[in-house]
Amino acid sequence: MADTSDFKNGLCIEYNNDIYTIVQFQHVKPGKGPAFVRTKLKSLTTGKVLDNTFTAGVKVNVTRVERRPYQFLYSDDLGFHFMHRENFEQLTLEPSMIETPEFLLEGQHVEVVYHADTETPLACDLPPFVVMEVTYTEPGVRGDTSSTSSLKPATIETGATINVPLFINTGDKIKVDTRTKSYAERVKE
C-alpha cells in the first residue's frame, strides 16, 4: 500500500480492477478545500490513457511489474512471436498488446512488461526510435517547399506509411519515433 505522496512517473498501481502506470502527476493545494493530486494514468492492459484526480493521502495498491528483454522473431495468424534474449523461451503476443506493431522488424529488440505476481505479460514496449529504410516515396521536386505542408507520404520497409520531408528519397534510412509514429531524422550511413 502506498498513498498519493509516493506517486512518481512510472509507478504501477491497481485502480478500477486494472493495472495502470502513472504517466504524469501534479500535487495541487488550492486556497480553499483539501489538497489533491491530478494524474494521467495509462492502462497496461488496454493502452488507454485516463485523467484522474485523487484526494491527497488516499491509499492505493502498488503493483510490481518487470521488464524482460525479448527479440521479435516473426508474425503469423496466431500473433507476434518473441524469444527471450537470455533463456531463449518463446512467447506469442496478440497485436493488441503491442502499441505500434507496424514498426516491428525481424530481430528487433523489445521489452515485454510482465505482472510480477501472476507472471502474465501485459504489454510490449518498442524502443522510442527505430531506424527504417524507405522502400517507396515520390521524388521531391526542387522548389516545392512553398506549399502549406512540406511533407510527403513514404512507405518504410515494414509496410507502414509515414510522412517525411521532401528531401527524403527511396533507399534513404530514417529514424522513426515509435511513440508518435512520425519521422524524426535522416540517418547518415
Mean pLDDT by 10 residues, the chain (189 residues): 89 91 92 92 86 93 92 93 94 89 93 90 90 89 59 91 89 91 88
Q: Where exactly are the structural domains of the chain?
A: 2-62, 65-125, 129-186
Contact 164, 177 (CB under 8 A): no
Q: Is 79 helix (H, G, I), strand (E, B) or coil?
A: strand
CATH superfamily of 65-125: Nucleic acid-binding proteins (2.40.50.140)
Q: Do domains 65-125 and 129-186 have the same CATH topology?
A: yes
Q: Domain spanning 2-62: which CATH class is it, in words? A: mainly beta
Rounded CA separation 79/90 (Å): 12
Options 2.40.100.20, 2.120.10.30, 2.40.50.140, 3.30.70.380; CATH for 129-186 is 2.40.50.140
Q: Could you count the other beta carbons within 10 Å of the beta carbon of residue 136?
A: 11
The model carries a pTM of: 0.77
